[in-house]
Amino acid sequence: MTDLIIGLYNYWIVIILMMVGFYIVMSRQNLVKSLIGLNIFQTSVFILYITLGKVTGGTAPILEKGIKLYSNPLPHVLILTAIVVGVSTTALGLALVVRIKEAYGTIEENEINRMDNES
C-alpha cells in the first residue's frame, strides 16, 4: 500500500495535475483561466515523460569512464519538443485572447457566446 502511494508518487502527481488542468479548462468561463488550465494539463504530461526516462540510481547520460548506469535521455529530449509546442500554443492562445478582448471588450466566455448569438 505504501509502495503504491509513496513508490509511485510521481504518477499520482501526474494524474492529479492532469485532472486539475482538465477541470479548469472545462469549468472556467474566463479565457485566460482556461489557458492556464490547458497549461497545467500539458505540464502533467511533461512530468509523465520525465518520470518515464528516470532510471533509479542513474546519472546524466554522458560518455565518460566509470559511468555505467544512466537515465534514458530520449523521453527528456522528446518532452523538450513538447514543451516548445506548449509554449507556442500558450503564446498563440494569449495573442488570440488579446484580440478577443479588443473585438468583444470581454474575455468571459458566456458573454462572448451571448454576443455571438445576438449578431
Partner 1 sequence: MLAHLPVLQVILPLIAAPVCILLRRATLVWLFATVVCVLTFAISVVLLVQVMGGEPIRYELGNWVAPWGIVYVVDSVSALILVIVSGIAAVAMPFALRSAASEIEPDRLYLFYTMYLLCLAGLLGIAITGDAFNLFVFLEISSLSSYTLISLGRNRKALHAAFQYLVMGTIGATLYLIGIGLLYALTGTLNMADLAVRLAPLLDSRITLAAFGFIVVGLGLKLAMFPLHLWLPNAYTHSPSVVSVFLAGTATKVSLYALLRILYDVFGVRFDFEQQPMSALFAIVAVAGLVICSLVAMYQQNVKRILAFSSVAQIGYMLLGVAFATAAGLQASLLHIFNHALLKSGLFLAVGCLVLRTGSSQLANLSGIAREMPWTMAAFVVCGLSLIGVPATAGFISKWYLVSAAIEKGWWPFAALIVATSLLAVIYIWRVIEVAYFRPASDRPAGSPPATEAPLSMLVPTWIIAAANIWFGLDASAPAAITARAAKALMGAGG
Residue 58 found at the interface with partner 1 (CB under 8 A): no
Residue 61 found at the interface with partner 1 (CB under 8 A): no
Q: Which range of residues in 2-10, 58-66, 81-89 is near partner 1 by CB under 8 A?
A: 81-89
Residue from the set 58, 78, 106, 108 that interacts with partner 1 by CB under 8 A: 78
Helix orientation angle between 31-53 and 9-27, rounded to the nearest 10 degrees: 160
Residue 17 found at the interface with partner 1 (CB under 8 A): no
Residue 99 found at the interface with partner 1 (CB under 8 A): yes
Q: Which range of residues in 2-10, 32-40, 59-67 is near partner 1 by CB under 8 A?
A: 32-40
- Output 2 or 119, the one with its CB closest to partner 1: 119
Contact 48, 12 (CB under 8 A): no
Beta bridge partners, 70, equal 59
User: How many Å apart are CA 98 and CA 103, to the nearest integer?
Assistant: 9
Contact 51, 84 (CB under 8 A): no
